[in-house]
Amino acid sequence: LIRQRRGIAFLFDLSNEVTKMVFEVSKVPTTPFDGQKPGTSGLRKKVKVFVQPHYLHNFVQSTFNALTPEKVRGATLVVSGDGRYFSKDAVQIIIKMSAANGVRRVWVGQNGLLSTPAVSAVIRERGSKATGAFILTASHNPGGPNEDFGIKYNMENGGPAPEAITDKIFENTKTIKEYLIAEGLPNVDISAIGVTNFTGPEGQFDVEVFDSASDFVKLMKSIFDFELIRKLLSSPKFTFCYDALHGVGGAYANRIFVEELGAQKSSLLNCVPKEDFGGGHPDPNLTYAKELVERMGLGKSNSGVEPPEFGAASDGDADRNMILGKRFFVTPSDSVAIIAANAVNAIPYFSSGLKGVARSMPTSAALDVVAKNLGLKFFEVPTGWKFFGNLMDAGMCSICGEESFGTGSDHIREKDGIWAVLAWLSILAYKNKENLSGDKLVSVEDIVRQHWATYGRHYYTRYDYENVDAGGAKDLMANMVKLMPTLNEINTIVKGARPDVSKVVNADEFEYKDPVDGSVSKNQGIRFFFEDGSRLVFRLSGTGSEGATIRLYIEQYEKDPSKIGRESQEALAPLVEVALKLSKMQEFTGRAAPTVIT
Ligand code: G6P
Ligand code: ZN
């Protein structure tokens, strides 16, 4: 017995119960949209752009076409994200298009929530494993009807699609004529855990909604010594605080920090995921993680309350992290170096040694010094996590990090905010193992200062000029490319700006040849190297959704233990002045000051 209702037929058995739902596939004619080029981390645009009829559909179909129909047919796809505005609609659209394109099953985290690292873990670890994933996020960009949405595709290894695929997707978006969709498929209730079965022209199609945290929690427990961390967290002398900035990290924080590790519930800030991140900018840095920064004693107001020993935050999709101690900021470049230096002792997953370490080019050389001291393989890659993924797939890298608040390891193929917090808690727990009943714990600040004393300190800061005129930004970069070969001219500018700064000995544009697949990435940032080991880097952000963002990275190495205790903005002020003169920042951008300093 078959009854038909709006493109979907319900098969009834004799007791009149629905046994399976049969859907039909429609071919919808469409025309291309401009600018659907996926950036470093997928396609990011304003929600207003994404909600245009056919906009998301075109991109999803272009992705399916790039993957090829043979690979899509029968696939298991993960579809979820950071829960930002428009995610729920997008999940339903992608389910219907997956059904129509012959996908075998779609896995959805409850309420459409999965952090980016959890997606990577689910692809690699869950049950029969998945073929790939659509991750719905614009990472650290704000969310809401007037803000950003984003989508990116991750591959079977759990990492972002390589350029060969994203280029193909972009090509397809320029010529697309139609997409496939099972329009009549009823919306699946993604708030309830369970499996819904459908039948289409190609056979069975299932949607499984599952708990967002359990696969990820299981993985974390296989990496870290939860018992040891639990002891630290239960010590009355240790106080802890975690801010999810209303991103998807909140879906993991309660399970891991409170239920598994025994932290106080009150130590979780902004841990309810919200579609608009509570109106905030879900980027874990000293500017945007205001509440945490205040609580850690690093803000302007002094509440008189003693700050916690340890604080951390993650971004919208919980792949980024910021680590703080009491009244103390750990730069991400130091963070990865310190994790690498301590991993073998403090983290069971690494107890048999590190295969190698890697950082992105603009990240400070703190990791280089650790690698050299410990005799580890070391790689410097362009900005963007996919470059680490290649090294990890080839067994060449265990730990890696970026100045942009990304830290991670080869347990997955994305950076991992919660992993970074657990790594730091592990180091603290290890250093305080014999000390929990003593009168003073080894603090985050102690660990960092000890590290500087051993390896030297890389003073480091980043200036961001957000949403500047794209033309002006291009001209600024072009002007420096022209300046690059003229060391004399460069040094005249340097001397004119600050006679106390050492001279530039080399300037170039970073280019990378991937040692695994041989691919070459050009124009990855302009670098000025100084005689005393200092460095300036300029590059254009690849993740913005409006205008251009110029990033300026400033670094200075200090080996002398008597000089490692300075305030970093003060220590770097001369180099900053030089950088602004060299780039003619104000002239090209009209900006007298950066939008964000980290
Ligand atoms: C994303 C990528 C990171 C990268 C960062 C750089 O977060 O996943 O790997 O470091 O973007 O962003 P930017 O805006 O500097 O290009
Ligand atoms: Zn992110």
Read off φ and ψ for residue 402, nearest 5 degrees.
-135, 155
Beta carbons within 10 angstroms of residue 32's beta carbon:
14
pLDDT tens, residue by residue, 56-65:
999 999 999 9
Kindly give, in sequence order, each residue whose CB lies less than 8 Å from that of residue 507, ignoring residues fewer than 6 positions away.
Answer: 483, 484, 485, 487, 490, 526, 527, 528, 529
Q: Which ligand is nearest to the CA of 117?
A: 2
pLDDT tens, residue by residue, 497-515:
999 999 999 999 999 999 9
**Residue of 386 and 332 predicted with greater confidence:** 332
Q: Is the pLDDT of residue 247 over 50?
A: yes
- Establish whether residue 402 lines the binding site of ligand 1, counting it when its CB lies within 6 angstroms of any ligand atom: yes
Kindly give, in sequence order, each residue whose CB lies less than 8 Å from that of residue 56, ignoring residues fewer than 6 positions away.
Answer: 50, 90, 93, 94, 151
**Residue of 128 and 84 predicted with greater confidence:** 84
Determine what percent of the chain is predicted with pLDDT higher than 70. Answer: 96
Predicted local distance difference test score (pLDDT) of residue 40: 65
Q: Which of 366, 427, 450, 369 shows the shortest CA–CA distance to 402?
A: 366
What is the mean predicted confidence (pLDDT) over 14-30? 75
Tell me which CATH code domain 215-455 carries. 3.40.120.10
Q: Which ligand is nearest to the CA of 413?
A: 1
- Establish whether residue 143 lines the binding site of ligand 1, counting it when its CB lies within 6 angstroms of any ligand atom: no
pLDDT tens, residue by residue, 140-150:
999 999 999 99
Q: Is the pLDDT of residue 19 over 90?
A: no
Predicted local distance difference test score (pLDDT) of residue 259: 96
Predicted local distance difference test score (pLDDT) of residue 10: 52
Ligand 1 atom showing the smallest separation from residue 551 Cα: 15
- Establish whether residue 541 lines the binding site of ligand 1, counting it when its CB lies within 6 angstroms of any ligand atom: yes
What is the mean predicted confidence (pLDDT) over 469-475? 94
Ligand 1 atom showing the smallest separation from residue 139 Cα: 7
pLDDT tens, residue by residue, 105-117:
999 999 999 999 9
Q: Which ligand is nearest to the CA of 417?
A: 2
C-alpha to C-alpha distance for 479 and 489, rounded to whole angstroms: 13
1 — pLDDT class (breaks 50, 70, 90): very low
Pocket test residue of 166, 466, 541, 543 for ligand 1, highest count of atoms within 8 A of CB? 543
How distant, in Å, are the alpha carbons of 26, 126, 346 from that of 221? 45, 15, 14
CA of 543 to the centre of ligand 1 (A): 6
The span from the first CA to the last CA of the chain, in angstroms, equals 65
Predicted local distance difference test score (pLDDT) of residue 545: 62
Q: Is the pLDDT of residue 357 over 90?
A: yes
- Establish whether residue 464 lines the binding site of ligand 1, counting it when its CB lies within 6 angstroms of any ligand atom: no
Q: How many residues does the chain have?
A: 598
CA of 186 to the centre of ligand 1 (A): 37
Predicted local distance difference test score (pLDDT) of residue 163: 84
Read off φ and ψ for residue 337, nearest 5 degrees.
-65, -40
Mean pLDDT for all residues in the chain: 94
Predicted local distance difference test score (pLDDT) of residue 8: 56
15 — pLDDT class (breaks 50, 70, 90): very low
- Establish whether residue 467 lines the binding site of ligand 1, counting it when its CB lies within 6 angstroms of any ligand atom: no
Pocket test residue of 283, 315, 404, 524 for ligand 1, highest count of atoms within 8 A of CB? 404
pLDDT tens, residue by residue, 87-99:
999 999 999 999 9
- Establish whether residue 384 lines the binding site of ligand 1, counting it when its CB lies within 6 angstroms of any ligand atom: yes
Predicted local distance difference test score (pLDDT) of residue 2: 46
Tokens of 457: 């300190």
What is the mean predicted confidence (pLDDT) over 180-188? 95
Burial 365-400 (b: 16+ CB within 10 A, else e): bbbbbbbeeeebebbbbbbbbbbbbbbbbeebbbbb
Ligand 1 atom showing the smallest separation from residue 140 Cα: 7
Q: Which of 274, 269, 265, 323 shows the shortest CA–CA distance to 291?
A: 269
Q: Is the pLDDT of residue 494 over 50?
A: yes
Q: Is the pLDDT of residue 4 over 80?
A: no
pLDDT tens, residue by residue, 380-427:
999 988 899 999 999 999 999 999 999 999 999 999 999 999 999 999
Q: Is the dihedral of CA 188, 95, 97, 11 positive or negative?
A: negative
Predicted local distance difference test score (pLDDT) of residue 20: 66
pTM of the model: 0.93
- Residue appearing with tokens 């990492």: 159
Q: Is the pLDDT of residue 12 over 60?
A: no
CATH code 3.40.120.10 region(s) in the chain: 20-212, 215-455
Predicted local distance difference test score (pLDDT) of residue 435: 84
- The residues carrying an active-site annotation are 139
CATH T-level fold of 457-597: TATA-Binding Protein (3.30.310)
What is the mean predicted confidence (pLDDT) over 138-163? 95
CATH T-level fold of 20-212: Alpha-D-Glucose-1,6-Bisphosphate; Chain A, domain 3 (3.40.120)
CA of 544 to the centre of ligand 1 (A): 9
CB 552 within 8 A of CB 579: yes
- Establish whether residue 333 lines the binding site of ligand 1, counting it when its CB lies within 6 angstroms of any ligand atom: no
pLDDT tens, residue by residue, 550-592:
999 999 999 998 999 999 999 999 999 999 999 999 999 999 9
Q: Which of 137, 322, 329 shows the shortest CA–CA distance to 244?
A: 322
17 — pLDDT class (breaks 50, 70, 90): very low
